[in-house]
Amino acid sequence: MQEKSKSNKKLFVISGSSGVGKGTVLKKFMERHPDFMLSISCTTRKPRIGEVDGVNYFFVTPEEFQNSIDNDKFLEWAEFAGNRYGTKKKFIKQCLDEGKNVILEIDTQGAFQVKKQMPEAVLIFICPPSLEALENRLRGRHTENEDAIQKRLHEVKIELERAKNFDYRVINDEVERAITELEKVIDEEHKKC
């Protein structure tokens, strides 16, 4: 039992294309599983309306971000659509040492960096039902201008290719169904611990 609680098998990395609805899936998952810790990333991106510093992200300046890179504070970091995003080592290590389940919601480049350093991490990719559905959802969000949408669609195609190397792929055709599948994947991984 002691061994089990200290297992690093409890690090789940969730990636998904922009606008795929992974935020909604994760939000509902977290509401139902309050024992899971969701890592809060640092980003140089400006907050969107309604986003709160220290809740959605730690919003930092490019200088602060660079300083954290120089001081080896990140478990992983990546540039995505012109901004930098990173996961601080300290929080993840602390949670895992305490035997907690940790979820990282990061892009595919970051996911592979984590897997390289911690092969026991489980990579889960949330897929859109189709590229058309994803483009519609992205436009319907009205949070980005056309240039940003084009950049994101370009990234989406790259990410779908990278998703082939993930441990699991979950299609978000319907939120409740996707959550149930995600729960099943996590249950299966816990049984392996």
Helices 146-162 & 131-140 angle (0-180, nearest 10): 150
Q: Does 168 bind ligand 5GP (CB under 6 A)?
A: no
Instruction: State which amino acid sits at residue 82.
Output: G
Nearer to ligand 5GP, 12 or 85 (CB): 85
Backbone conformation region of residue 161, classed left if phi is above 0, alpha if psi is from -120 to 50, else beta: alpha
Cβ-contact 85, 77 below 8 angstroms: yes
Contact track, ligand 5GP, 5-44, x by CB under 6 A: -------------x----------------------x---
Options 9, 28, 45, 151; binder of ligand 5GP; rule CB under 6 A: 45
Options 95, 102, 105, 178; binder of ligand 5GP; rule CB under 6 A: 105
Stretch that binds ligand 5GP, among 71-79, 161-169, 170-178, 183-191 (CB under 6 A): 71-79
Number of residues that bind ligand 5GP (CB under 6 A): 15
Pick from 109, 40, 115: nearest CA to 81: 109
- Cα-based distances in Å from 102 to 54, 83, 120: 17, 24, 13
Q: Does 87 bind ligand 5GP (CB under 6 A)?
A: yes
Cβ-contact 113, 78 below 8 angstroms: yes
Pick from 63, 161, 42, 172: nearest CA to 106: 42
Stretch that binds ligand 5GP, among 73-81, 94-102, 120-128, 174-182 (CB under 6 A): 73-81
Q: Does 86 bind ligand 5GP (CB under 6 A)?
A: yes
Map the footprint of ligand 5GP across residues 107-166, applying CB under 6 A.
107, 109-110
Options 76, 156, 160, 168; binder of ligand 5GP; rule CB under 6 A: 76
Edge-to-edge strand order for the sheet containing 74-80? 58-59, 42-43, 83-88, 74-80
Binding site for ligand 5GP (CB under 6 A): 18, 41, 45, 76-78, 80, 85-87, 105-107, 109-110
